[in-house]
Amino acid sequence: MRQTVVSSTLVRRQSAKLNVKNRIFIALVVISNTMGTVLLGRGMTQMPDFASGAFAYIGRFLTNPWIVSGIALLVVWMAAQLSMLTWADLSYVLPVTASYYILTAIVSRFFLAERISLTRWIGIAVISLGVMLVSHTPPRTHELPEGLLE
């Protein structure tokens, strides 16, 4: 009962402004994760075997432009996802940002011209359904930790 009252007050407090910010950050999290992973993956294919020497390996790793820009985007992803957690629940952020599985499939289909099997398309549809269900719930439902309520 108490929980219901709290969540309905919080829902009302969640303004249109939060909605815009929330959408921008979902896009930022999804795009930076997808692009970061794609760039890092591309760079890793150019790396020598690790057994060929650790110092040479680390040197190549830190100077490969694909790897460096991939890691930079993954740092953006981490910071954006952590920022979202200041206003949204973990049980909201995780499923909603899982749409990078969808974007990765689209990128690999249209930009890398990879073939996508029927099973993968079904998987993409199932993930999309899950993302849609969760994105219709309010981003924050729980109380802030003791003593930190405004």
Partner 1 sequence: MKWLWVAITVISGTIGDVLCARGMAMHGELDDFRPTGIARILRYMVTHKIVLAGIAGDAISFFSFLALLSVTELNFAVPATALSYVFKTALARWYLREHVGWGRWAGALLVAFGIVLVSL
Closer CB to partner 1, 66 or 130, in the complex: 130
Q: Least distance to partner 1 from the beta carbon of 66, Å?
A: 17
Closer CB to partner 1, 56 or 122, in the complex: 122
Catalog residues that contact partner 1 under the rule CB under 8 A: 3, 7, 18, 78-79, 82-83, 85-87, 89-95, 98, 101, 105, 119-120, 122-131, 133-134, 136-137, 141-145, 148, 150
Rounded distance, CA 149 to CA 100, Å?
A: 33
Q: Least distance to partner 1 from the beta carbon of 21, Å?
A: 8
Closer CB to partner 1, 31 or 74, in the complex: 74
Q: Least distance to partner 1 from the beta carbon of 94, Å?
A: 6
Q: Least distance to partner 1 from the beta carbon of 65, Å?
A: 21
Closer CB to partner 1, 45 or 86, in the complex: 86
Secondary structure of the chain as H, E, C letters? CHHHHHHHHHHHHCCHHHHHHHHHHHHHHHHHHHHHHHHHHHHHCCCCCHHHCHHHHHHHHHHCHHHHHHHHHHHHHHHHHHHHCCCCCHHHHHHHHCCHHHHHHHHHHHCCCCCCCHHHHHHHHHHHHHHHHHHCCCCCCCCCCCCCCC
